[in-house]
Structure 1
Amino acid sequence: MSIRDWPVQERPREKLLAHGAATLSDAELLAIFLRTGVAGRSAVDLARHLLAAFGGLRQLLEADLHGFSAHLGLGPAKYAQLQAVLEMGRRHLAARIQRDSALESPQAVRDYLKARLRHEPHEVFACLFLDTRHRVLAFEVLFHGSIDGASVYPRQVVKRALAHNAAAVILTHNHPSGVAEPSQADRQLTQKLKEALALVEVRVLDHFVVGDGEPVSLAEYGWI
């Protein structure tokens, strides 16, 4: 049965307009993006099939072009559209944290860092550089590592902080395993960077570890 034959209140697009996007399931949201199904399958049926094939929405969103295009109903055009949607989401989150003080919008910072780092297949280390009012000057990925860890050099972090004339930084890195529990090595690295940046009067406000759930704050553990 085509979606056009469904009761109006059950159609994904009409549900979104009436009740908001948050009320839709992953399959319904994906169906709106797909717009049409294929022979014998509505857009929602196709969306459910794709979510099952990829193992979930996150895996579908993080697929490369080859993996994405290997499935019925998907191709380079849809892949380009999806990447554009994802980048718009990242830029929207970036605009939110650039508009306000990072300390006044802690959830916006968490959302942005997760959007930027969760999809990385290997560990990366990055910094949010902040001005004296704790507004974001720049976000930079500084080091790429193996699946087990990244080699982080304090000299380079200090150099980039000075280049941005930053007054403070928020450190962040991801755990590709999805488990965001800070390790002893994470705590030691934080202390080393805090001491190095203090020499040039740059404060470390926090260090977030990004995994599958909410990014974990070392400051909230009392480790900053």
Structure 2
Amino acid sequence: MAISDWPAAERPREKLLQRGAEVLSDAELLAIFLRTGARGRTAVDLGRELLGASGGLRGLLDMPLSKLRSQPGLGNARLAQLLGALELGRRYLAAEMVREHSLTKPDDAGRFLMAKLRHYPHEVFACLFLDNKHRVLAFEELFRGTIDGAAVYPREVVRRSLEHNAAALILAHNHPSGVAEPSEADRSITRRLVEALGLVDIRVLDHLV
């Protein structure tokens, strides 16, 4: 049965407009972007299949582009819509970070940095540069490496901090392996950066993994 034949209250688009996006399942939200199904399957069926094949919404949205292209039912138009929606979400989080108020909630920084870094298949080391009121000045991905590690140079972090006239930093890097526990190497580079930045009166507020 086509979605157009469903009761109006059960159709994903109508349900969203009447009751809000939060009541929709992941498959129904995907159906909003997919718009139509394929080969006798509704858009909701297709959404369920995509989620099942990727292990859930996060697995689907974290897929490399090359693998997303191979997913059944995801042609160029649908893929462009999906990737565009994902980027809108990232930019929304980024916009929240650069408002005039001070950054007072660590969770805000955590959500933003997770959205920026978690999809990379290799390690990325990044910095969130803050002024003396903890307002965001800039975000930069400074170093990239293999899945096993990224070479981090304190001198470069100090240089970029001074160029941004930062008073404080939040450091972050991803673990593509999925292990969130900081390694001894992570603790070592954090200590080196705290010492190097301390020489120019710049504080390290946190190092998020």
Return the TM-score normalized by structure 2. Answer: 0.93
Per-residue Cα deviation, 1:159-184 (whole angstroms, up to 9, x for no partner): 11011111110000011122211222
Per-residue Cα deviation, 1:31-84 (whole angstroms, up to 9, x for no partner): 111011123111101111122223322232233443223233212222222222
Structure 2 equivalent of residue 101 of structure 1: 102
SS of alignment partner, residue 140 of structure 2: strand
Deviates more, 1:195-204 or 1:1-10: 1-10
Identity of aligned residues (%): 65
Q: What is the CA–CA distance in structure 1 between the aligned matches of 2:111 and 2:94, rounded to whole Å?
A: 9
Alpha-carbon RMSD across the aligned residues, in angstroms, is: 1.5
Shift of 1:158: 0.3
Q: What is the CA–CA distance in structure 2 between the aligned matches of 1:178 and 1:41, rounded to whole Å?
A: 34
- Contact persistence 1:172–1:207 (CA under 8 A): yes
- Contact persistence 1:167–1:203 (CA under 8 A): yes
- Contact persistence 1:130–1:138 (CA under 8 A): yes
Q: Which amino acid aligns with 1:193?
A: L
- Contact persistence 1:169–1:205 (CA under 8 A): yes
Structure 2 equivalent of residue 216 of structure 1: none
Structure 2 equivalent of residue 78 of structure 1: 78
Structure 1 equivalent of residue 24 of structure 2: 24
Structure 1 equivalent of residue 7 of structure 2: 7
Per-residue Cα deviation, 1:91-111 (whole angstroms, up to 9, x for no partner): 111111111322x23222111
Deviates more, 1:108-117 or 1:82-91: 82-91
Structure 1 equivalent of residue 177 of structure 2: 177
Q: What is the CA–CA distance in structure 2 between the aligned matches of 1:19 and 1:191, rounded to whole Å?
A: 50
- Contact persistence 1:127–1:141 (CA under 8 A): yes
- Contact persistence 1:68–1:75 (CA under 8 A): no
Q: What is the CA–CA distance in structure 2 between the aligned matches of 1:183 and 1:112, rounded to whole Å?
A: 22
Structure 1 equivalent of residue 151 of structure 2: 151
Q: Which amino acid aligns with 1:206?
A: D
SS of alignment partner, residue 127 of structure 1: strand
Deviates more, 1:51-60 or 1:109-118: 51-60
Q: How many residue pairs get matched?
A: 208
Shift of 1:197: 0.3
Q: What is the CA–CA distance in structure 1 between the aligned matches of 2:78 and 2:42, rounded to whole Å?
A: 17
Structure 1 equivalent of residue 112 of structure 2: 112
